[in-house]
Amino acid sequence: MEIWIVWLVIAAALTVVEVLTQMMWALCLAVGAAGATVAAACGGDIVWQSAVFIVLSAAAYMVFLPWFRRRNDRRSAHAARTGMDALIGRRAVVTHEIKPGGLGRARIDGDSWQVRAPGCSAVVHAGEEVTVTAYDSIILNVERNQNK
């Protein structure tokens, strides 16, 4: 059996591992094995093939690492908070005043929510902007924005 076929099978197997596990290391090794396949097909000896495998795998790692990190950071930032948790930190506009210890209403993205301001000792008037800090069932806890 020709050695380039062995490298080709290794590259294909590593590509399958990459598809199934989505781990960056398998893709980098598959790139190195593909390069070693070319080196073997061109008549390079096993030392040369191994060197090509190592160098291309390392180069692929250095090229793909920043890209994979950016991709995963974006994905985890969007997937981290869903449902009611996604409202925490959002800004809302008060539509019905919030009296101390009482409930009012605020609008976020066109939706009207029942809100309370547990840390406020004064009335939060309609039109003021508040930030969602927590929730209890379907009632949002808010606080006045600091820039007021």
Domain extent listing, the chain:
3-79, 84-144
Residue with the larger pLDDT of the pair 146 and 87: 87
DSSP SS3 for 81: coil
39 burial via Cβ count (<10 Å: 0-12, 13-18, 19+): buried
Tens of pLDDT along 115-127?
999 988 889 999 9
Mean pLDDT of 83-109: 91
State the chain's mean pLDDT as an integer. Answer: 88
pTM of structure: 0.50
Tens of pLDDT along 77-89?
555 567 788 888 8
Please compute, for residue 74, the number of CA atoms within 13 A of its CA located in the half-sphere on the CB side.
5
Rounded to the nearest angstrom, the gap between the alpha carbon of residue 28 and the centroid of all alpha carbons in its chain is: 21
Mean pLDDT of 8-24: 91
Question: What is the maximum alpha-carbon separation in the chain?
Answer: 84
pLDDT of residue 22: 82
CATH classification for the domain delimited by 84-144, as one of 2.40.50.140, 3.30.1240.10, 1.20.140.10, 1.10.3720.10: 2.40.50.140
